[in-house]
Structure 1
Amino acid sequence: MTRAALTDDSRSPTRAAGGGGRFASAAVRAVLRRRMMEMLGLLVALAGVALLVALGSHDPADPSLNTATDRPVRNLAGPAGAIISDILLQGFGFAGALPGLALLAWAFRLATHRGLGSVAARLGGLVAGLPLAAAALSLLPMPGGLPVEAGPGGAV
């Protein structure tokens, strides 16, 4: 094929069909976009589940930022899970589960093609709601056997 034949727009089936030189049609791009949003939803769901697993398997004796020990980590999410769960539970108590639950809710919206709207507004609401929920939980009486000494509302 000559160079002139390769640059001739009339010979391109995509351009001849009105595709504007794009690799795929609008319908194919829409399907790919939906699949990508579903995959993003799956990744966000995995992050939410990992966070909730870390919180659920929290062991106060695990090595973290305020606990130095040479024993192996028992948190199912590993050393990172031990540190994250310790920070969330010490700081916010049971409200520390809100980020994991929010990630699961956002994943559901992404996977069902509902979108997230303003991500900044959702993150802002989560950041504002976390200490408020912790403050509300701190009003509860402290039951025995909690995994953290800070109480149901954490240090807030």
Structure 2
Amino acid sequence: MASWQAKHRDPLFDQSTQAALERRGKEAIGAGLIVLGILIAMMLGSWSPDDPSFGSATDAPAQNMLGGIGAMIASALIMIAGMGAWMLVVAAWVWGLRMMLHKGEERLMRGIFTPIAVALVSIYASTLIPGPEWQQNYGLGGHFGDMVMGAMLNLLPMKAQLGIRLAALLVAVAVVAAAAFVLGFDRTEVAALWLRFRQGLATALHGTVLAGSAAAGAAQRLRQPRAEGAAPARPHPPPAAVPPRRHSSWNPRCPSPS
């Protein structure tokens, strides 16, 4: 009898309270993901090749915003994945916002495929030409991106210049598809984003056309000659000078001399 009562006891919270607690828990997880994304962004943004890391031994203090630990983690991420490591920041922020706003949080399990998106972004970054401030012996995609891109160029039966452009195009398409899946976008959201993109593009083109038409009209008015037979406008004559007023010494109170 006691066991039957124990199995059928009332729950500690009712359904509405359980739902509210579940929502608050998801929001707390989302806030934690946003904080995690901020920490990763701080590590990567303040990364310096002169900081102590696995590849450089120095006694100089770390310039990373998160200290020596942040310098070690940022150096490893940049060395392996290059600029592809920033995909971790994007994924953390997007999923954090989804959890806090309760939009698509049921697709959270897609986030476990984030390393695939990081790898694809790393491969695409290896096709970009680094700037003069990049003094590393690997490209913007890290060692992983350079290795995979080199293997792809060896497989393509064409010249390296044409092959790297074709590989960049293929990898860019794969990056967009993988990012849409990993970040939890469905068909409805993709369609809405595409519609907004088209509307924004149409608005920008319409504004450009209007601005071009206005500029062309102004230039045409400036180049248009005067109509034949039109008399030039006469300049207005200057105002006539007013003679100074004489002040008479006559006083009405005093009779005039006879």
Please report the TM-score for the alignment, with normalisation by the length of structure 1: 0.79
CA shift in 2, pair 1:118/1:45, >3 Å: closer
Match of 1:111 in 2: 100
Runs of 5+ unmatched residues, structure 1 = 1-8, 10-19
Root-mean-square deviation over aligned CA pairs: 2.0
Q: Quick check: 1:106–1:116 contact (8 Å CA) kept in 2? A: no
Match of 2:46 in 1: 57
Match of 2:22 in 1: 33
CA shift in 2, pair 1:147/1:43, >3 Å: farther
User: What are the residue-to-residue correspondences of 1:7-156 with 2, within 5 Å?
Assistant: 21-114=10-103, 115-119=105-109, 121-124=110-113, 126-146=114-134, 148-155=136-143, 156=145
Runs of 5+ unmatched residues, structure 2 = 146-258
Cα distance in 1 between the residues matched to 2:76 and 2:136? 11
CA shift in 2, pair 1:52/1:151, >3 Å: same
CA shift in 2, pair 1:64/1:48, >3 Å: same
Larger RCO, structures 1/2 (Cα 8 Å, 6+ apart): 1
The structure that has the greater radius of gyration is: 2
CA shift in 2, pair 1:88/1:49, >3 Å: same
- Which amino acid in structure 2 is aligned with residue 21 of structure 1? D
SS at match of 1:141: coil
Fraction of identical pairs, as percent: 26
Aligned residues: 137
Q: Quick check: 2:95–2:108 contact (8 Å CA) kept in 1? A: no
Cα distance in 1 between the residues matched to 2:56 and 2:32? 31
Once the two structures are TM-superposed, the CA of residue 118 in structure 1 deviates from its matched residue by 4.9
- Which amino acid in structure 1 is aligned with residue 138 of structure 2? A
Please report the TM-score for the alignment, with normalisation by the length of structure 2: 0.49
Q: Which sits farther off after the overlay, 144-153 or 96-105?
A: 144-153
CA shift in 2, pair 1:82/1:147, >3 Å: farther
